[in-house]
Structure 1
């Protein structure tokens, strides 16, 4: 086996208690640093996980609100369609009333014209009678 240091030097280091204590302290610091580093990244991962959970929940809430808004908009559109249908029916009924009124007006005009002709004819007859009476007088 290859060692970077000769075996004698390694044995000297192993026999020197100060060196072993320093080595153990350094080893403890390395493990403590590693443990703290793991805890730090674990807490960061937990925070990131919490942020992800919050984000997902926020997206779910936003989607739910969007569905509710879409439902409300759909209902309002349906109601607007019903109102338009009702208005169209009212306009059709008004148009029929206007057409009926035009027919009544036309009939009334014809009746007035006929009455005027009858009146003129009656006046003509009365005029003829008056002339005939004046001649006989």
Structure 2
């Protein structure tokens, strides 16, 4: 998988404020769903990861986010969330996420995700790191 993962989202009434524009916090929901679907498409299901069905029980936590709100999305817009790992270390993944309406960039996020088990940092499984590293532009540190 050399291109960013893409996930389509339609903006519904419930996603907007009283003006019909997407409420800012909902972009976080959009990018969370896209991250989950990227993992699913790579063959990793968060439920199985959390319960330990695939090895050690792991939890992913957002450690840091850098967000830019560039243009508003509106009710009924069809958006695409692009997700691409930019860096992977032993227990941390850094992702770049972009929300677009066609070619127009509306929102960007740089998200740092840490793997935890029993409340402590835990190494990402080798297979997990390898699949993410296949994505274009991803650097292992």
Q: What range describes the TM-score normalised by the shorter chain of this pair?
A: under 0.3
TM-score by length of 1: 0.16
Higher helix share: 1
Q: Of the two structures, which has the highest relative contact order with CA contacts closer than 8 Å and spacing of 6 or more? A: 2
TM-score by length of 2: 0.16
Q: Which has the larger radius of gyration?
A: 1
Higher strand share: 2
